[in-house]
Amino acid sequence: PPDVEVLGRSAWTVLHSIAANYPEAPSRSQQSDLTGFVSLFSKLYPCWVCAEDFRAYLGREVPRVTSRDEFGKWLCGAHNDVNRKLGKPEFDCSRWEERWRTGWKD
């Protein structure tokens, strides 16, 4: 199986980039596509302990897919849950779009 860290960095890049490109006002079918994607991702992610914990997270915190910002913040929360588990610093979710879409402003 692939290296858990390399896989993780790549996977988060794909997931946050999907959030960054998700519509601000998604249609019903776009919302159901995203819900389905997250659910399938949690079954197919090839780090099985990671996937199991991610499925448990999905059970506690239902994915919010009603807008780009809702999903981006939800995903940031999911990533922070893993950060906490691994003893990594938590990310400020008010800045997720700067990191993944617009670029840092300072």
The residue among 28 and 105 lying less far from ligand FAD, judged by its C-beta, is 105
Per CB under 6 A, the list member of 3, 5, 61, 98 interacting with ligand FAD is 5
The reply to whether 37 sits near ligand FAD by the rule CB under 6 A is: no
List C-alpha distances in Å: 4 to 24, 45, 48, 87, 103. Answer: 32, 11, 10, 16, 27
**Separation of alpha carbons 46 and 63, rounded Å:** 20
**Separation of alpha carbons 94 and 92, rounded Å:** 6
Residue 44 structure tokens: 């197919």
Q: Which of 98, 77, 80, 100 is nearest to 89 (CA)?
A: 80
The residue among 18 and 82 lying less far from ligand FAD, judged by its C-beta, is 82
The reply to whether 4 sits near ligand FAD by the rule CB under 6 A is: yes
The reply to whether 58 sits near ligand FAD by the rule CB under 6 A is: no
Q: How far is the CB of 44 from ligand FAD (least distance, A)?
A: 11
Q: Which positions touch ligand FAD (CB under 6 A)?
A: 4-5, 8-9, 11-12, 16, 45, 49-50, 53-54, 76, 79-80, 82-83, 86, 88, 91, 96, 99
